[in-house]
């Protein structure tokens, strides 16, 4: 994954910090059962999401997580890559170009 | 908050169902919503690019600082028929445009909703979202001037609990209640959309506790310490009308604040009615 790439929240979602946890609700006409489509993160995911909201690069996201958690960079990069792929698949983020 | 209904056609004593009598007041409050029934074709034409919601029978448009709600046909191209509602940005003035078939219905009287839609909760839910409020699928009661809200899935025991609480509490509503935040405090009041208990109270009382119902063979209250869990359970009971982006934003902010401020408990209760004494003593 390109470390200089930037992703941003899709305009088809709404995200809120609910009791310290990010909750994402996809906003689509005709959305049915929200409980099936609501998305929330663990602690690391919350930090990654806040970086995405700030339009940080993949490299900067990994660095931010490395500062907070005692994990190897390889493991962090794998985790971020997995998260980004999942968020793209669910159309919660989009590739961002200035 | 009061709702003032106006109409191009004259009202009679029987225009609205008697169930509204409980909630009738003589003059508007400082915070007043106007619903004006117009019996003419709406001249405001929504532009397709301004559509923010489409799920028949509703389409919602946001344009030129106004909201436009159209009652549409199920099949594409989803033509508008019978009804269009045009509101200002804050949902303070709602012009409800009705066609001739609705005119006959109005004159016949006995209307069971103020908006003349099958239920008022769609537009009311939208109005409240812009006023720090929401409608909850719940049982609301006033016990010693304390508002208590009981929530749970459809078989959780709201009707049973209504029967138990009738010993000494006023039932606000056994199906749909309005929760609002005003001056940093939360209040609960009933609605005319009741279930089995038609004799509802028009009181507005401070909301002092939210109880998640759980049928049991005992009576006890257990504090819900996981606020995030309480949030999800309340969201499941919140009436979610025409879920646009801004509606979700307002709703999530409101509910998050509600969970933080108002104590939540799991209420285990049996059929003996002792839950009433338990709650009375809290």
Reported in sequence order, the residue ranges of chain B that DSSP labels E, i.e. its strands, are 2-7, 32-38, 51-55, 58-63, 66-72, 80-87, 93-98, 133-137, 139-143, 146-151, 170-173, 176-182, 185-190, 204-215, 220-223, 264-269
pLDDT over 90 at B222, yes or no: yes
ipTM score here? Answer: 0.74
Strand partners, B87: B67, B94
Chains A and B form CB pairs within 8 A to the count of: 38
Does A33 reach chain B within 8 Å, measured CB to CB?
no
Q: Do A29 and B53 touch (CB under 8 A)?
A: yes
- pLDDT higher at A38 or B106: B106
Which residues, in sequence order, are bridge partners of residue B142? B147, B170
Residue B210 contacts residue B263 (beta carbons within 8 Å): yes
pLDDT one-digit tens code per residue, B60-100: 999 999 999 999 988 887 777 679 999 999 999 999 999 88
**Domain regions of chain B by residue span:** 2-118, 133-280
Fold of A7-95: Arc Repressor Mutant, subunit A (1.10.10)
pTM: 0.88
Q: What is the three-class DSSP state of B16?
A: strand
Q: What is the pLDDT of residues B127-158, one digit of tens each?
A: 999 999 999 999 999 999 999 999 988 788 99
Choose, out of B235, B238, B250, the residue to mutate when testing the contact with A (most A CBs < 10 Å): B235
Q: Which CATH class is domain B133-280?
A: alpha beta
CA distances from B229 to A98, B234, B254, B255 (A): 38, 9, 16, 12
């Amino acid at each position: 994954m390109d470390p200089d790439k930037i992703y941003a929240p899709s305009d088809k979602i709404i995200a809120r910090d609910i009791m310290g946890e990010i909750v994402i609700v996809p906003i689509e006409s005709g959305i049915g059962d929200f409980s099936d489509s609501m998305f929330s993160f663990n602690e690391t995911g919350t930090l990654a999401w806040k970086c995405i909201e700030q339009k940080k690069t993949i490299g900067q996201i990994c660095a931010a997580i490395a500062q907070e958690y005692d994990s190897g960079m390889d493991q962090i990069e794998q985790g971020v890559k997995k998260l980004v792929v999942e968020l793209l698949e669910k159309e919660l983020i989009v590739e961002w170009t200035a | 908050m009061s709702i003032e209904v106006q109409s191009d056609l004259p009202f009679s004593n029987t225009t609205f169902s008697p169930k509204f009598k409980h909630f009738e007041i003589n003059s508007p409050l400082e915070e007043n919503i106007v619903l004006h029934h117009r019996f003419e074709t709406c001249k405001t034409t929504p532009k397709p690019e301004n559509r923010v919601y489409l799920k028949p029978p509703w389409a919602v448009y946001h344009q030129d600082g106004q909201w436009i709600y159209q009652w549409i046909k199920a099949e594409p191209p989803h033509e508008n028929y019978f009804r269009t509602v045009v509101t200002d940005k804050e949902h303070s003035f709602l012009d409800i445009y009705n066609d001739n078939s609705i005119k006959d219905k109005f004159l016949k009287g006995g209307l069971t909703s103020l908006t003349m839609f099958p239920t008022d909760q769609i537009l009311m839910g939208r109005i409240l979202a812009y006023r720090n409020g929401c409608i909850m699928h719940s049982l609301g009661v006033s016990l010693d001037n304390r508002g208590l809200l009981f929530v749970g899935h459809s078989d959780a025991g709201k009707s049973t609990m209504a029967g138990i609480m009738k010993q000494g509490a006023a039932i606000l509503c056994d199906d749909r209640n309005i929760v609002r935040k005003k001056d940093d405090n939360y209040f609960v009041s009933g609605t005319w959309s009741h279930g089995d208990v038609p004799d509802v109270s028009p009181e507005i009382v401070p909301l002092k506790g939210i109880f998640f119902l759980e049928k049991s063979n005992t009576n006890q209250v257990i504090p819900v310490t996981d606020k995030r869990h309480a949030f999800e359970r309340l969201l499941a009971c919140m009436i979610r009308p025409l879920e646009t982006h801004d509606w979700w934003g307002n709703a999530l902010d409101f509910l998050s604040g509600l969970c933080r401020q108002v104590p939540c408990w799991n209420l285990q209760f049996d059929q003996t009615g002792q839950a009433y004494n338990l709650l009375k003593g809290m």
